[in-house]
Amino acid sequence: METTVTSVAKNPEGDHEPIVPIERYLENITHLVKQVQDKHVTPFLLTLPPLDPARYYRSIAERFGPSIGHFVSQVGGIEHWHGMYNRQLKNLAEELKVPLIDVRSYIKSAGDLNHLISDDGIHLTSKGYQQMSMAIFSDLQKHMAGRILPQS
């Protein structure tokens, strides 16, 4: 059964599965990586950006009622699931031998997360996206510096 925030809010004691289970998430990424590699292009994966669990719970409780927070806490909390998907993504990048850009650590070290993560606790602010783009740019530069580019 596919879970939506609304279905959880209506029945917080029920059994709910993630919209994209971890196995399908990893299969999807593997499929995309292989498609890109088949075109002789080097794919890069990004870690998941950080989130702010307290603001996330507050945001969803305001929209869907407090029962949603109860369910999320019963299944380990958003940070549990977010961290699990991120760890599996890192493992997959290593398994597929694909470069991984750690935007999560970069953003966490870039300053006050209150200014980098939006009020919903999940999405980045414009400053957060700016930090993420700087992490990507920096890692791409390092990657390209290690390569010998063809002569024109």
26 φψ region: left (φ > 0), alpha (ψ -120 to 50), beta (else): alpha
Can you give the pLDDT at residue 61? 82
Are 124 and 49 in contact by the 8 Å Cβ rule? The answer is yes
Closest CA to 88 of 10, 26, 149: 26
Can you give the pLDDT at residue 1? 41
**Rounded CA separation 56/53 (Å):** 5
Can you give the pLDDT at residue 137? 96
10-residue mean pLDDT series, the chain (152 residues): 60 69 96 97 95 87 76 71 93 96 95 94 96 95 74 45
**Rounded CA separation 92/131 (Å):** 24
Can you give the pLDDT at residue 35? 98
Degrees, nearest 5: CA angle 114-3-126: 25
Can you give the pLDDT at residue 64? 80
